[in-house]
Structure 1
């Protein structure tokens, strides 16, 4: 594996935490846009006379380009500097948000949503790489805990934020404020980032490396072939779309062969394949893929159930997800401290807690009838959120713990790409179960329960992976006694 001996660039005193706040604010804004638009779709449909295909692309196009660009964006940050890449992505995201709000037709809105997703991908891997660059040891775990809180809260409060903005603005053009809200935030974060973010020149020779364009094309085509049938599952009818999955697998195999070829020739690959010889990285990325396939589907089917079957408005449906957000914030803060002491056992505890909380949601839906259901599931959602916080941030800390700082951007891109693919796959699977039951005139409550039971099954698969890793580590305790410098990835 290509090694990188460059350690974190010193950032003095409280400035590190201010820089982290800048990064997490930008991350929150971009992650919020994956779900905030959901409750605005009826308003978009009326305002732009958009059809079902347009609405599908407004929602899924962002996730698609976001997932496609994460790894190249991470590699670009490693090569050209994380600060510069972060600022470029933030500027483009802010401009794309303004363009979305000004869109005069559905086609323009779809186009600018695609640009928004690609811009967000420039920001995301720089955040995890900058944490590795600025922090070490317990402080790094605490910083990743704050990042985990950001991920969990942004996922949960998106529908609430969208409902509040639409209700406050009112009228048929209220959906535009879902995008305009990013403008003052984007400008303020950009100005703060100019002052606070550290420069990361990297080790000698890093800036002279060539960007692996064939690798980018192969990886992009492979990820596109995997994600497209998943994000368009409800809109593309028939089975022919699934032929893209084996095509995507072949393209990713070709990408792997190309990257090995690049390494043998002494050229810088897009992804250092030596990262996958790190068990902590490989297991953590796989666990993220599976877990995000389970927990993100909760909001998809639950919000649909409340709005379409229980008659909840956008704001009320958004408020119902707040217990999960509060639990995720508390769990992430706690997980950042526990992971240094308990390691993978923290993740196992978190996954178990999520499964228990979601089982509680299934039970509450059974016994709490009618519109009172949101009150009945509040406590189980709080428990599930707590478990999610104990899962995401500790798993991120463990996954990136041995990654060299100079490869942190590309590694973070791989990790977040796994999360996006997992989310798309989970929504496709759980959504199919939910809609199939409704199509046969089944009870909406039963459809929700079946969907959530499928989600629990996916989460239990992630739990099996975590247990397998823990048993392997107990069989090879010498792996746990590697020097602390290796754990910090320096």
Structure 2
């Protein structure tokens, strides 16, 4: 019998059933909050028509969610570590449900932007608790399967967002379909609040964290992340080159955060324990996640623009076109969760290689068959890229968090996901800039713009592959 199997056998059957039910609630919540990162992309044309929003309003509807999502992750993770993950989870889901309803009811662009900002903060509160619950309820190698399921949830929710958005818009029509995109969260959120309170573990009896929640650390991290993210999410709206000065300013604030945390840790529990970066698995895994999400998330952004604006496909067809990627990612994530304990980082490297090859094949297919329907010629290559993605996200998350102590699980997961959000924002800014620059220079040739920006996204993912290969080489030298 495997080690994971032995550990599972030691758990009371009723308790084992309860922890898997708790995981199920967490995965549904994670899916719902991560889905809202991409589902709104296909709703922008109908939302624009219904509310007469300005380009700046539309940009904030898309990027404001990601911005507040990233700001909330680490403080929320630390709060869950200190005060109980159930409390933080239920509060986050309740807030997400209310703000989803407010977004769906929005009578004006300003109302919708404010609702999206609050909705993103709620998503940032929820997600570290899910990872923390896995760390708390599962031990050692048996974490591979739940982390595999979480990785599949992350990958599939991002990829399937345009499809679900297209279906809801087709159901609700051009005038009201965009409201359904937000309303769909409400019944799921209500159920998640009830089940989350019943099933998720509360604060352990006899364990009281008397340490303060490090307000100075919260402010420094928040300001630093905000300064780094703002010019990235507003890249298309802020034309001044001075916006890029915010990034080095943000990095300086983050350096001040690191100095403060190092000193604070001498006497109290810090917001984020910098000693986690002494773990090579955590450091390399976080780096790979940051770079990979920079290329991975941007693909769906430019592909949706290419299909809808360039070729006139409906939101539903644009969503269906990315379904092969979602299916490949879901299937491979399940397999990756079982294989990661035996294969380690080479599995992640193999997945990254498959993504690079799949995206290169997508580029080649569009070049070789320029007059064929784009959703058909890209289906096979995107399936391969999706399979590769499934072997990256879930196994990398398992390896990255495998040595993180349970008391730091929430904040450690929050920092990992903050890197993913920064990577996503930076990738969309870089790849989006390449797309729009090529579009302008080619007199509106969407195919040329997509091919050019796809190369940029592929190069970014290739950098993540190099980082994984370096980790493999260093590990083998240590083992010799």
Assess same fold via TM > 0.5. Answer: yes
Query: Aligned runs of 1:244-255 on 2, under 5 Å?
Result: 244-255=246-257
Instruction: Quote the Cα distance in structure 2 between the aligned partners of 1:203 and 1:276.
Output: 30
Match of 1:458 among 441, 460, 471: 460
Contact kept, 8 Å, 1:138 with 1:337, in 2: the verdict is no
Contact kept, 8 Å, 2:140 with 2:402, in 1: the verdict is no
Query: Aligned runs of 1:146-295 on 2, under 5 Å?
Result: 146-201=149-204, 204-206=207-209, 208-264=210-266, 266-295=267-296
Question: Match of 1:485?
Answer: none
Contact kept, 8 Å, 1:68 with 1:220, in 2: the verdict is yes
Instruction: Quote the Cα distance in structure 2 between the aligned partners of 1:14 and 1:183.
Output: 27
Partner-residue secondary structure (3-state), 1:254: helix
Q: What CA deviation, in whole Å up to 9, does each residue of 1:450-486 have, x standing for no partner?
A: 11111111111111111111111111128xxxxxxxx
Displacement of 1:267 in angstroms is 1.6
Partner-residue secondary structure (3-state), 1:50: coil
Query: Aligned runs of 1:41-190 on 2, under 5 Å?
Result: 41-190=44-193
Question: Match of 2:395?
Answer: 394
Question: Match of 1:484?
Answer: none
Partner-residue secondary structure (3-state), 2:393: helix
Question: Match of 1:481?
Answer: none
Partner-residue secondary structure (3-state), 1:99: helix
Question: Match of 2:478?
Answer: 476
Question: Match of 1:4?
Answer: none
Contact kept, 8 Å, 1:310 with 1:370, in 2: the verdict is no
Displacement of 1:171 in angstroms is 4.7
Instruction: Quote the Cα distance in structure 1 between the aligned partners of 2:76 and 2:223.
Output: 16
Contact kept, 8 Å, 1:349 with 1:390, in 2: the verdict is yes
TM-score normalized by structure 1? 0.93
Instruction: Quote the Cα distance in structure 1 between the aligned partners of 2:282 and 2:140.
Output: 17
Instruction: Quote the Cα distance in structure 1 between the aligned partners of 2:167 and 2:206.
Output: 47
Instruction: Quote the Cα distance in structure 2 between the aligned partners of 1:200 and 1:326.
Output: 37
Question: Match of 2:424?
Answer: 423
Displacement of 1:371 in angstroms is 5.7
Contact kept, 8 Å, 1:96 with 1:116, in 2: the verdict is yes
Instruction: Quote the Cα distance in structure 2 between the aligned partners of 1:339 and 1:117.
Output: 31
Contact kept, 8 Å, 1:22 with 1:193, in 2: the verdict is yes
Query: Aligned runs of 1:339-350 on 2, under 5 Å?
Result: 339-350=340-351
TM-score normalized by structure 2? 0.95
Are 1:26 and 2:29 counterparts?
A: yes
Displacement of 1:369 in angstroms is 2.2
Partner-residue secondary structure (3-state), 2:203: coil
Partner-residue secondary structure (3-state), 1:434: helix
Q: What CA deviation, in whole Å up to 9, does each residue of 1:256-301 have, x standing for no partner?
A: 111111023x122110111111111111111100010011111011
Question: Match of 2:4?
Answer: none
Partner-residue secondary structure (3-state), 1:291: helix
Are 1:17 and 2:30 counterparts?
A: no
- Unmatched runs of 5 consecutive residues or more in structure 2: 1-9
Instruction: Quote the Cα distance in structure 2 between the aligned partners of 1:97 and 1:125.
Output: 20
Contact kept, 8 Å, 1:81 with 1:202, in 2: the verdict is no
Flag as ranges the 4+ runs of structure 1 deviating above 6 A. Answer: 8-11
Contact kept, 8 Å, 1:9 with 1:198, in 2: the verdict is no
Displacement of 1:189 in angstroms is 1.4
Are 1:372 and 2:373 counterparts?
A: yes
Q: What CA deviation, in whole Å up to 9, does each residue of 1:230-271 have, x standing for no partner?
A: 11111111211101011001100111111111023x122110
Instruction: Quote the Cα distance in structure 2 between the aligned partners of 1:321 and 1:232.
Output: 26
Q: What CA deviation, in whole Å up to 9, does each residue of 1:128-157 have, x standing for no partner?
A: 110111112343101111011101110011
Q: What CA deviation, in whole Å up to 9, does each residue of 1:148-175 have, x standing for no partner?
A: 1101110011111111111111251221
Q: What CA deviation, in whole Å up to 9, does each residue of 1:435-458 have, x standing for no partner?
A: 101111253212111111111111
Partner-residue secondary structure (3-state), 1:173: helix
Partner-residue secondary structure (3-state), 2:271: coil
Question: Match of 2:7?
Answer: none
Instruction: Quote the Cα distance in structure 1 between the aligned partners of 2:142 and 2:374.
Output: 40
Question: Match of 1:444?
Answer: 446
Match of 1:36 among 39, 44, 47: 39
Question: Match of 2:303?
Answer: 302
Instruction: Quote the Cα distance in structure 2 between the aligned partners of 1:370 and 1:65.
Output: 42
Contact kept, 8 Å, 2:90 with 2:193, in 1: the verdict is yes
Question: Match of 2:3?
Answer: none
Instruction: Quote the Cα distance in structure 2 between the aligned partners of 1:53 and 1:370.
Output: 35
Residues 1:239 and 1:171: Cα distance change in structure 2 (over 3 Å): closer
Displacement of 1:194 in angstroms is 2.0
Displacement of 1:9 in angstroms is 11
Displacement of 1:72 in angstroms is 0.4
Partner-residue secondary structure (3-state), 1:34: helix
Question: Match of 2:6?
Answer: none
RMSD: 1.5
Question: Match of 1:3?
Answer: none
